Amino acid sequence: MVFVAHQDDDLLFMNPDIQATIHAGGCVQVVYLTAAERGEGIGYMMGRARGVRAAYAYIAGTPNSWTEDVLALDGRHLAHVFLNGNPRVSMIYMRLKDPWLGKGWGSLTPLSRAESEPGTTAQSLGPYVETYDRAGLVDTLAAIISDYRPTDIRHMDDTVAIPYTRLCWRCVGHDHPDHIASARLVRAAMARAPGTYAEVAYVDYPTQERHRNLTLAEVAGKTGAFRHYAWDDYRYCAKGPIGCKEPLGPALSWVGRTYYVIRHTLAPALAAEPAGGYVLCATGEINSAANVRDSRLGRWLALGGRVAGSSTIYNRFDGTVEILVRGANGRLWTRARASGGHWAAWQMLAGPRLVELPLVAHSAAGRSTLLAMGYDGAFHYAVRQQADAVEPWRWSRLPVLADALRDAALALDANGDPAVFAADRKGGLWATWQAQDGSGRWAAWSRIRGVTVSGGLAARRNARGLIQLYARDGRSGHMLGLTQLRAGTPDQAWRAPEDMGIAYVGRPAIGLSPMGAVVVAALAREHGSVWLLEGGAVTSLGSGIASAPALRTIGDTLYVAGRSAGSRQDYWLWARSGGKWHAPRLLPAPAADGGESFNSLPPGIVPSGPFQAPVLSAKAETGAAALAK
């Protein structure tokens, strides 16, 4: 499900991801919030609607033939169309009027006013006149989400902090007020309509300020789709296809770039450098790539990949460092570093499509294991196989837990078998475990009684073979600690929950100290302190931290890392060895470049239909040459 403000925002800022979904046989529904008529009436609105239909027919490789009807949701009437040659492609037009409400760029629009000013409304254009205030917009968007039940929601950038009335065209870092307003409204609607879906936010106008990060094949497909739209938009191509030289100007930059909104709250990850020291991993907020920083070299290395969320890093059984990321379409990608320091090419993992990046742990045999929720609403578990196995990972599907939250926890029980813990939206805390008969079957979920939680789970087996489980209390927000009464599967009795006395947000990091004790790190609040919980004692490592922390013991040193709350993507690193803390270090941000696609488009994900290279004026040839580099 795609939410954008105007017809063409999806084509310029969210491709090639939408095209990849359609070519893979997926369903796509695009919701256009505004009429995008620029005060010029129904004629221009309908022209832009024809343009996006032509573009999506081109993407799908089918005739440009659509069926139109009216969708009734939340008491509203919405224009709805679907592609006859591929009914999995559909569109909803909310048609909010879209004139400028003042002189120049720094003025409000009806949508941005309705989003930001209490008591204001926006009215739709067309045969069904609907009037929306902010609550009405959120209600309608939530109804659209609940009706469609998406596996992915793609929306525009909600993070631009510049007030609407101070935005300007082509100023560095600025965006369109409708882009920002639409994204903020969609995120509010998502909170009203939770579900098993992933969220991907896209950088819009400011992509032109960043490095090109699409392959030539991706640029070709994206350009072809945009041109099919532009022929019906007379502000781009006044005479239709005849003599049309689009994309030009900013559009020429936008078709060569796709960047994601990488939030400051995303936790980094730590692994052991086989030669000694640590490797820090983080998704770049500017380059949307996986980045690693080796403590020996003391600098960041951009490993590419267009990463829509967190990156993680871990050590294989042989000590090899491997990075794991999730692409914008739910697939997992890995890249390993050999002993000689060379990073192999990205490889896509076979397996289920996942809502978020998996937890990584290790089995009793030292093999890497993964756990994450899939698009089907179930958690999936994977164990890495031998190096010569046909499939490097063996996946199993856990029983479905109704209304489960995503931040599950994974630990090994006393027998070395995996135990999984999850919370549901009603506050229940549940556990399941893998059968010990070698069948790979998972037990039915068992309720852990006497506790109401709201996620924030972490679990680890301690030196006595008992699982220690941590969760956020559903009432106070404090961290609760639970420990098994006796070794065994997690359906056995647990000690009464202990209030650890600290409030926290996000998911805690958990590991073992150099002495083998369970240690937990958690963020008190965004831009707050990092708490370190060890042996019942709580230590504040420092304030002004934006992200959930990473934690790892390497040799006799305990490392904790978290993103600084500053505007730059710097990271604070704390290290303790010999029982003493060293002075914290501030590691500089990753580079702005180095982002790229994981590879050339895989088989089956290629531009459909005939592609014609854009005819460029002499003025635009310089930009085209830059795209080809």
Count of CA atoms in the C-beta half-sphere (13 A) of 139: 10
Q: Token pair 């600690």 is at which residue?
A: 481
Distance, in Å, from the CA atom of 113 to the CA atom of 133, rounded to the nearest integer, reads 9
Give CATH for domain 2-260+599-628.
Answer: 3.40.50
* Per-residue pLDDT reduced to its tens digit, 525-579: 888 999 999 988 999 998 999 999 999 999 999 999 999 999 999 999 999 999 9
Query: Residue type at 93?
Result: Y
538 touches 527 (CB < 8 A): no
* Residues whose CB is less than 8 angstroms from the CB of residue 204 and which lie 6 or more positions away in sequence, other chains included: 9, 13, 156, 157, 175, 176, 179
Choose the weakest-confidence range: 169-183, 432-446, 475-489, 520-534.
432-446
What radius of gyration, in Å, describes the C-alpha atoms of the chain? Answer: 25
pLDDT at 623 over 50: no
List, in sequence order, every beta strand (DSSP E) within 439-584. Answer: 446-447, 458-461, 467-472, 478-483, 498-503, 505-512, 518-523, 528-534, 537-545, 550-554, 557-563, 571-577, 580-581
Distance, in Å, from the CA atom of 514 to the CA atom of 306, rounded to the nearest integer, reads 36
* Per-residue pLDDT reduced to its tens digit, 246-300: 999 999 999 999 999 999 999 999 999 988 899 999 999 999 999 999 998 899 9
Q: For residue 146, what is the enclosing H or E element?
A: helix 134-148
pLDDT band at 389 (very low <50, low <70, confident <90, very high): low
Closest CA relative to residue 165, chosen from 157, 156, 174:
174
Residue 364 pLDDT: 79
Hey, which residues does 147 pair with through a beta bridge?
Answer: none
Tokens (6 digits) for 605: 């994900």
Residue 338 pLDDT: 80
Tokens (6 digits) for 5: 């403000």
Residue 275 pLDDT: 82
pLDDT at 114 over 60: yes
Residue 622 pLDDT: 31
Q: Token pair 């559009």 is at which residue?
A: 251
pLDDT at 608 over 60: no
pLDDT at 601 over 50: no
pLDDT at 70 over 80: yes
